[in-house]
Amino acid sequence: MLLGLTSLFTDLATEMVAATLPLYLTFQLGFSALQFGVVDGLYQGATALVRVAGGHHADAHGRHKTVATGGYAASAMCKLALVLGTGWGWITGVLLVDRLGKGMRTGPRDAMISLSSPPTSLGEAFGVHRSLDTLGALLGPLAAFFVLSQTPDQYDVVFILAFCFAIVGVAIIGLFVREPAVVPDERSRPRLLRDARDLLRVPRFRRLTIIAGALSFVTISEPFVYLMIQDASGMSVRWFPLLFAGTAVTYLALAVPAGRLADRVGRSQVFVGAFALLVVAYAMLRFSSLDAIQVLMVLGLLGAFAAGTDGVLMATASPMLAPERRATGLAVITSATALARFGSSVMFGTLWLLWGWRTAVVLFMLGLAALVPVARRHVLAREAT
């Protein structure tokens, strides 16, 4: 629960920033679709640079809390740093450090959740954590909307308030969360790359990692989806932060039920099935008029997708990993998905710049529609093997 509260305040801060960044970068700073794609790709994928190192260090030294706290603190400071500059290099650098902090904390945090939960209820445990995390993701865009409605175009105010909320999250994990009682394996300390390689030699874990990365590569990042919604619907930019809140509402409502369903019917089945919802959402983006009802439907599909993938993927992978290697293993699989998301954002931004977003979304929709049945039939459906 305390880790959930930490994530609540951290995600509140993160989503305050995330809900304003697309507007800030494209409307105020004038970034092109490709430039935004590179920045968004770093925001999505830079975590891969340190995820495995952070998870391995936590496993090797038995210091999951210490590593996670450092990651939360680094991300908090970056919210304040956004106030200090507006250039391409500065913004990119700050967001890179912010995502490195996220990458460093994710594996140890997820390992702490799995190590403190019954094996038969991992889906529910991650669902509870993600629901609190998503409550922050809901409150963040609402807070950003309120701030910008009172002080139009004053993005610095959003960034400073986000920093304050992030510091609360750091204080909770630093002062109240206990280190899990796991004895570190001394032999693991000099073997980071070898350990990652050894984990990928396990057939079930390797299949899960490959297919999760492949599916992520043909998934459009949410900020791009929101920019498409704004363009297709003619929505005023002042309402833009509420798009993030709309997705978070569905995610918040479905995170725990999706986790329980995954525990009951098969975690990999729920994980793969959630990607099918994106095919429907992308089709609506491209082929419907996007009136208010249709916008809500797309946001609902995005939220349901997130509920069926984020925590469920961690719950699927956790039983495949020994406790003393769990943070490393979870970091390996999330590194794969983060790298795929980086490539996805750059690719989508390039396609948007060359042919427009309507062509780009069709290409991604076709790729995802082709991959989902393959994943279901040949990889993730073999959960028992």
What confidence tens digit (pLDDT) does each residue in 243-300 have? 999 998 998 889 889 988 988 988 888 999 999 999 999 999 999 889 999 999 999 9
The number of residues making up the chain comes to 385
HSE (side-chain half, CA atoms, 13 Å) at 57:
16
Q: What is the pLDDT of residue 183?
A: 54
**pLDDT band for position 385 (50/70/90)?**
very low
Question: Domains in the chain, ordered, with CATH?
Answer: 2-176+195-379 (1.20.1250.20)
Integer-rounded Cα radius of gyration of the chain: 20
262 touches 124 (CB < 8 A): no
HSE (side-chain half, CA atoms, 13 Å) at 118:
4
Please give the average per-residue pLDDT across 304-318, as a whole number.
89
Distance of CA 340 to the CA centre of its chain: 12
Q: List the one residue out of 125, 132, 178 whose CA is nearest residue 4.
A: 132
Please give the average per-residue pLDDT across 199-209, as a whole number.
88
DSSP codes joined into one string, 214-226: HHHHT---HHHHH
- For 316, counting Cβ atoms within 10 Å of its Cβ (0-12 exposed, 13-18 middle, 19+ buried), the class is buried
**What is Dmax (Cα atoms) for the chain?**
59
**pLDDT band for position 325 (50/70/90)?**
confident
Task: Return left, alpha or beta for 238; rule: phi > 0 is left, psi -120 to 50 is alpha, else beta.
Answer: alpha
Q: What is the pLDDT of residue 182?
A: 63
What confidence tens digit (pLDDT) does each residue in 8-35 have? 899 999 999 989 988 888 888 888 888 8
Q: Would you say the pTM of this structure is higher than 0.75?
A: yes
369 touches 246 (CB < 8 A): no
198 touches 212 (CB < 8 A): no
What confidence tens digit (pLDDT) does each residue in 52-102 have? 777 777 777 777 888 889 999 999 999 999 888 777 778 888 888 888 888
CA angle 205, 209, 211 (to 5 degrees): 120
